[in-house]
Amino acid sequence: MESRWTLAGRSILVVEDDLLVRLDITGRLEAEGATVYGASQLGKALGLADQPDLSAGVLDFDLGNTNSSSVCWKLVSRHTPFVFYTGRNYTAFRQWPTIPVVLKPASSGLITTLVGLFRASK
């Protein structure tokens, strides 16, 4: 695994409707030095996606009675990298063929994928 400071100085949007999963992801990212903006609902997620210091996103696609596709498009328009962190592989992901999909549960895999996004953007 990467050093603890790999995500230091990064601000990451976590969109996850399951409280325990969101808390787990948030704790792991903060332990790696990241600042986390967390949302469980689409409206709040869209607002947080406008944060000027946002470095990346971790998005669960299924948010109960809706999905995070509008957050995806907002992040794409801002050139902000993101990862799908989801329980299954949706056909909707074909809209974003270059976006990594990390299947739950894979906390260390999620960190590794985020680090890879930042390295690729250098």
3-state secondary structure of 51: coil
* Residue ranges making up the domain that contains 87: 4-120
Task: Dump pLDDT digits (tens) for 38-49.
Answer: 999 999 999 999
N-term to C-term CA, the chain: 20
Q: What is the mean pLDDT of the chain?
A: 88
- Phi/psi of residue 121, each to 5°? -85, 0
pLDDT band at 121 (very low <50, low <70, confident <90, very high): low
Closest CA to 83 of 33, 121, 43: 121
The partner residues of 56 in beta bridges, in order of sequence, read 12
Closest CA to 2 of 31, 25, 38: 31
Total number of domains constituting the chain: 1
Q: List the 35-39 sheet strands across, edge first.
A: 35-39, 11-15, 54-59, 82-86, 101-103
Specify the CATH number for the domain of residue 41: 3.40.50.2300
Q: Tell me the whole-structure pTM to 2 decimals.
A: 0.89
Instruction: Report pLDDT for 2.
Output: 42
Give the largest CA-CA distance in the chain. 38
Check residue 17 and report its DSSP letter: S
